[in-house]
Amino acid sequence: MKLFRRRKPPEGKSRVRRRPAAPARRILRLLAPEGVPLDFEIASLGARFTAQVLDLLLSGVLVIALVVLLSMTLSRADMVTPIPAISALLFFAVRTPYYLVSELLWNGQTVGKRIGAMRVVSANGRGLTTHQIVVRNLMKEVEVFLPMGFLLAALGDEGGLDSALSLVWVLGTLAVPVFSRRNQRIGDLIAGTVVISLPKAVLLPDLAEVAATAVPRFVFLPHQLDHYGAYELQVLEQLLQTPASTRRGEAKRHLASLATVAERIRGRIVFEDAVRPDETRDFLAAFYVAQRAHLEKRQLFGEARADKHYAAEGSAAAGARPEGKG
Q: Is the CB of residue 113 less than 8 Å from the CB of residue 121?
A: no
Q: CA–CA separation, 111 vs 184, rounded Å?
A: 20
What tens digit of pLDDT does each residue of 100-149 get?
Answer: 999 999 989 999 999 999 999 998 878 889 999 999 999 998 888 887 77
Radius of gyration of the chain (CA): 27
Q: Is pLDDT at 269 greater than 60 in this prediction?
A: yes
Q: Is pLDDT at 193 greater than 60 in this prediction?
A: yes
Supply the pLDDT for residue 326: 42
Is the model more confident about 282 or about 318? 282
Q: CA–CA separation, 57 vs 49, rounded Å?
A: 12
Q: CA–CA separation, 17 vs 5, rounded Å?
A: 20
